[in-house]
Structure 1
Amino acid sequence: MKRQLTELAGWLGASGQLLDGITVTGATIDSRSITEGDLFIPFRGEHANGHVYVQSAVEKGAAASLWLIDEPNPPADIPLIFVEDAELALQQLARSYREQLTCTVIGVTGSNGKTSTKDLLASVLGAQFAVRKTEGNFNNELGMPLTILSLEEETEVAVLEMGMSGFGEISFLSKLAKPDIAIITNIGEAHMQDLGSREGIAKAKFEIIEGLPSNGTFYYDGDEPLLTSAVSKHSELDAKSFGYGEELDLTAKDIQVTEQGSQFTVFGQINGNFVIPVFGEHQVKNALAAMLVARKLGMTDEAIRNALLNAKLTPMRMQPVTVKSGALVINDAYNAAPTSMRAALSFIGQTKLRTDKWVVLGDMLELGEDERYFHESVADQLGTLGLKGIALFGPRMKWLYEELRSRDAKVELIWTENDYTPIVSALRNSIDERSIVLLKGSRGMALENVLKGILETEG
């Protein structure tokens, strides 16, 4: 964004001081991360008041700041726009700037896989277009406006991740972003405690179509009955499906895992053999969504194939790390819910990359009143994987530990509530070049600390 401060005041219908001749080139709500030319947006909460940091923000290079009308003592020597609500002002700025952008906007949501899909989209489309994507977890009612305001005028494609925890949130984000293309990666069990059921989750995710224009395109997981049912009720949608079913618009078959990643064959709107440098059938499905979008935007099969080979994903998504002992650690510790847990465990069961298989599993959070059932039920799948060892971390994983003990599981079994050390010690004494170790847990469990512990003890 590069706009005159007077224009921003006009977008907000607001008055200000010292506005003339000031150019704003970005926006931030964090005074610690000021970039030259930023508009600083101070928030006032129960424990902190951002107005305290306006002066230091300007000293660090901010061009101007918002200021709440009822906040006393505005500094007279700083360019200010006076607003009633900082959050609403931020969102209105993003809404107005979005209306002036000419780039193709892609909105991505889903219970699992939205970040990986975002990364795959950015990697593939970035081979041919000037692409920007949501960085980190800037995918909510504050993060998305900041992402939109960070888009350069020259951006050709913006890939915006949309997160949520309740009804209405995706609707709000979609209407703000006005995506030309919308994607739902899947429907899982994350946020069950807020939405009550998978049907509720599907309804909340499907809100993404509410900001889609009449000529927009919707891509969805065609293997999910809840989504196919929802699509069937919207004949006006230009909807395309991806997955493993025979009659979908893009289908993947013959998925094979190699040291380089996952290779697979696709049929439908695109045909041929492709490779992605990441493990897991669920990542192949994420790639299918990116491939469909790339085709829609005019990329050739060969361009898509080459771009997928060089795709870069955010760390801790089925990320392979070979440690000093020769063991292969699959770091999938960014997040976990029952659907993504099953997918990662399925990979471990099927892979032939190593013979000695370990899983390190952390609590799955935000599952509501059925959380005990979801943890205990993992035992059924674990019993089919031919594992050498199972290490469990977190208070909820005690349910799974006790369930496995009751079944007299014939594997090395460890549980610890809040200390990574017993798990690190067990792995250090057991893994070698024949071993593969999966790390999988919700973000709050920070299972990457197990990998960090292994690397530190190996020296």
Structure 2
Amino acid sequence: MIKRTLYQIAQMCGGTLLRDQDSELNINGVYTDSRMPAEGRLFVPLAGERFDGHEYAAECLAAGAVGIMWQKDHGTPPEGPVIVVEDSLLALQELSAAYLRESGASVVAITGSNGKTTTKDMVYSLLSTTYKVHKTQGNFNNHIGLPLTILDMPQDTQIAVLEMGMSSRHEIERLAEIARPDVAVITNIGEAHLLQLGSREEIARAKLEIVSGLKNDGLLIYNGDDSLADRVLAEPTTKKPKEFKRFTFGMNQTNNDFPTGITNHAGGMIFTSVSSGEEAMQIPLIGHHNVVNSLAALAVARHYGVSHDDMRKGLGEVKLTGMRIEVTKGVSGITVLNDAYNASPTAMKAAIDALSGLAGYERKAAVLGDMLELGPREEELHEEIGHYLTPAKLDLVFTYGSLSSNIAKGALLNMPNHAVFAFEDKAALTAHLKATMTPKDVVLVKASRGMKLEEVANALINEPLQIEVD
């Protein structure tokens, strides 16, 4: 984490130290949540729609914070070591950018509509075989989370792996300005945030903002299966460095790297690709989409000179952030694929394909909830997911939510009536699943985060089923 004197921090963030006698006080870390431990740290109060951290600044000093930032339009600060700034959020961002520059760490920035957190975890696992690496924890990937991730970085970090999220234009541009990546990765361009952005073209422009902060002669690694990225890169309004390298990956053979063979195995996938040659790579994750994510991560590892043996080791030992197709055995023996963190049409289809590729189960079932923030076409996009479901892919479909009733409606195009069930009540859905599923079945649980379908997944994992099989 950042360790500087209060004077140094004031210089780094463009603030003014209120009292000269506080200049040599040592800061060990920064925080913005007044409920977190204060001892030895600098508190940065942020003003939101429903809260204002300035109201808790005095409490933080009393609890052991060495000092506080104070936005100057908020009146008189409390007594104690204070750095006065024009804008506390901007100062937090400037502080993180300065700390990152001073550290000398190389930066890998990752964005995309789907798969960015999984790819981040893969990149971290691969690079950690060879370097001291720091990564975004959880989904701390926005205008507040990214600076806090950087400021939490150990001072001897060699590579920072930073996830960048967005919901509107110019958000990633600001994050890229802070991080100034050496390597930028775009996992794909999907439908997430259609509601805010209106079209996939606008989503592509938002994702390609990551290139605006790419260092000159940096490397852009992106999914080449979709021509949108190349089209946006060619637009004269796209901000980009004068010189940068490109590397494409995906399923299509027009990419720089693509799979030459994919095999399902117990608990994961085995694959070969153009770049890996004839020697197979193995990941403890299911789904062809995770093979594609692996290609992006491997491209990063090769850029940093990670050996082939270490790449195999890093991929094989990857640990994912929670609720990204976690494969778990329930207390009754049922297998649950918990993918309840987020959902978009592209991600939903990928998860269904992953379920379809599994072998050794009596029945395959999908519990699918609403995909949120899809805009005016939301009902149509849900129904299209239903059309994607066939008896060749799975045996049973359960939907939860008003939008997902359109999945059930669409599923009847190919699925028999007795295999499709629509629910509006989560407790009723859970009870029905526990009454009908058996230990020999596998169940995918997938929805947008707001649907909280992990509650259903946890019930199937932690509570006994009514049907037991010897």
Give the TM-score normalised by structure 2: 0.92
Question: Is 1:316 matched with 2:323?
Answer: yes
Contact 1:258 1:353 in 2 (8 A): no
Distance (whole Å) between structure 2 residues aligned to residue 66 and residue 148 of structure 1: 18
Structure 1 residue 74: deviation in Å?
Answer: 2.3
Match of 2:257 in 1: 250
- The alignment partner of 1:217 has SS state of strand
Match of 2:6 in 1: 5
CA deviation profile, 1:257-316 (whole Å, cap 9, x unmatched): 222211111113665201111111111111111111111111111110011111101121
- The alignment partner of 2:422 has SS state of strand
Instruction: Give 5+ residue unaligned stretches, structure 2.
Output: 466-470
Written as runs of structure 1 = structure 2, the 5 A alignment for 1:17-416 is 17=19, 18-76=21-79, 78-231=80-233, 236-268=243-275, 272-404=279-411, 409-416=416-423
CA deviation profile, 1:310-363 (whole Å, cap 9, x unmatched): 110112111101113322111111110000001111122232242311000010
Aligned residues: CA RMSD: 2.0
The structure-2 alpha-carbon separation of the partners of 1:45 and 1:441, relative to structure 1 and needing over 3 Å to count, comes to: closer
Distance (whole Å) between structure 2 residues aligned to residue 187 and residue 92 of structure 1: 29
Distance (whole Å) between structure 2 residues aligned to residue 63 and residue 371 of structure 1: 49
The structure-2 alpha-carbon separation of the partners of 1:389 and 1:227, relative to structure 1 and needing over 3 Å to count, comes to: same
Count of residue correspondences: 457
Instruction: Give 5+ residue unaligned stretches, structure 1.
Output: none
Structure 1 residue 183: deviation in Å?
Answer: 0.3
CA deviation profile, 1:96-136 (whole Å, cap 9, x unmatched): 22221211111000000000011111111112111111112
Contact 2:117 2:321 in 1 (8 A): yes
The 10-residue stretch of structure 1 (439-448 or 228-237) with the greater mean CA deviation from structure 2 = 228-237
Distance (whole Å) between structure 2 residues aligned to residue 138 and residue 111 of structure 1: 16
Structure 1 residue 368: deviation in Å?
Answer: 0.5
Letter in 1 for 2:72: I
Contact 2:31 2:148 in 1 (8 A): yes
Contact 1:257 1:351 in 2 (8 A): yes
- The alignment partner of 1:429 has SS state of helix
CA deviation profile, 1:368-399 (whole Å, cap 9, x unmatched): 00101100111211125453321111121122
- The alignment partner of 2:39 has SS state of coil
Contact 2:330 2:462 in 1 (8 A): no
Q: Percent identity?
A: 38
- The alignment partner of 1:136 has SS state of coil
Distance (whole Å) between structure 1 residues aligned to residue 282 and residue 418 of structure 2: 34
Distance (whole Å) between structure 1 residues aligned to residue 224 and residue 415 of structure 2: 39
Structure 1 residue 436: deviation in Å?
Answer: 1.0
- The alignment partner of 1:6 has SS state of helix
Distance (whole Å) between structure 2 residues aligned to residue 162 and residue 47 of structure 1: 24
Letter in 1 for 2:458: K
The 10-residue stretch of structure 1 (255-264 or 226-235) with the greater mean CA deviation from structure 2 = 226-235
- The alignment partner of 1:303 has SS state of helix
Distance (whole Å) between structure 1 residues aligned to residue 314 and residue 171 of structure 2: 33
Letter in 2 for 1:317: R
Contact 2:71 2:87 in 1 (8 A): yes
Distance (whole Å) between structure 2 residues aligned to residue 126 and residue 88 of structure 1: 31
Match of 2:468 in 1: none
Match of 2:464 in 1: 458
Give the TM-score normalised by structure 1: 0.94
The 10-residue stretch of structure 1 (95-104 or 15-24) with the greater mean CA deviation from structure 2 = 15-24
Letter in 1 for 2:373: E
The structure-2 alpha-carbon separation of the partners of 1:456 and 1:397, relative to structure 1 and needing over 3 Å to count, comes to: same
Question: Is 1:427 matched with 2:428?
Answer: no
Structure 1 residue 63: deviation in Å?
Answer: 1.4
Structure 1 residue 207: deviation in Å?
Answer: 0.8
Distance (whole Å) between structure 2 residues aligned to residue 137 and residue 106 of structure 1: 16
Distance (whole Å) between structure 2 residues aligned to residue 135 and residue 408 of structure 1: 40
- The alignment partner of 1:48 has SS state of coil
